[in-house]
């Protein structure tokens, strides 16, 4: 029996530029990253995610919203709404919500605030949360210069740093049973001494 899963990556240009199929060759990978996407853009195309009927969804969105000066509340509520829709429409799918990636230092406080809210929210929709901030941000809270040429998009080294966090994150995600699978109760007698 094959262990191949349908693994859907969803997000903006950071996701779109990833070579997910070669990085996860044992899975049926679908890359639904679209350059320039905001939370609102992804909300409009959420049907594509649902139509893929994935075993697991890996989501990262929000940096373009922050760059467009949308409020933390707008960004967080939009992502929360996306997660609720995915959970409702894909009850058996494992969800991995990744933190909004760091970018230029001027955006750090707002991104960190949004990520704090998203981390707290993720468990309410039975999603796992993967914090990429420690791996990608420098001491000044900006995206590390060796990981980007423009302060937003990732270099090969940036993707390697992301993958170093994502691979174990996906292993933990896959250790979880699908969300709609009923629990098995073992009926065995035991004695208490």
Res. 175 pLDDT band, cuts 50 70 90: confident
Cα distances (angstroms) measured from residue 53 to each of 30, 58, 130, 171: 10, 13, 22, 20
pLDDT, tens digit, for every residue of 27-57? 999 999 999 999 999 999 999 999 999 999 9
pLDDT, tens digit, for every residue of 50-76? 999 999 999 999 999 999 999 999 999
Domain chopping of the chain, boundaries:
6-175
Class of domain 6-175: alpha beta
DSSP run (H or E) holding 94: strand 94-98
As a whole number, mean pLDDT of residues 9-24 equals: 97
Q: Quote the pTM value.
A: 0.88
Query: Would you state the pLDDT for residue 171?
Result: 93
Identify whether the C-beta of residue 8 lies closer than 8 Å to the C-beta of residue 52: yes
């Amino acid at each position: 029996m094959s262990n191949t899963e349908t693994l859907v990556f969803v997000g903006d240009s950071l996701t779109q530029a990833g070579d997910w199929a070669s990085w996860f060759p044992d899975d049926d990978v679908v890359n639904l990253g679209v350059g320039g996407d905001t939370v609102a853009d992804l909300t409009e195309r959420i049907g594509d995610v649902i139509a893929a009927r994935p075993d697991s969804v890996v989501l990262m969105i929000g940096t373009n919203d922050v760059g467009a000066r949308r409020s933390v509340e707008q960004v967080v509520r939009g992502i929360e709404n996306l997660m609720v829709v995915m959970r409702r429409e894909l009850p058996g799918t494992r969800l991995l919500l990744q933190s909004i990636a760091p970018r230029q230092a001027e955006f750090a406080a707002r991104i960190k605030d949004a990520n704090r809210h998203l981390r707290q929210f993720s468990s309410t929709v039975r999603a796992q949360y993967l914090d990429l901030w420690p791996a990608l941000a420098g001491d000044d809270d900006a995206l590390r210069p060796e990981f980007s040429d423009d302060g937003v998009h990732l270099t090969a080294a940036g993707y390697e740093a992301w993958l170093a966090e994502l691979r174990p994150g996906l292993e933990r995600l896959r250790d979880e049973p699908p969300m709609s699978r009923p629990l098995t109760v073992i009926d065995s007698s035991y004695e208490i001494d």
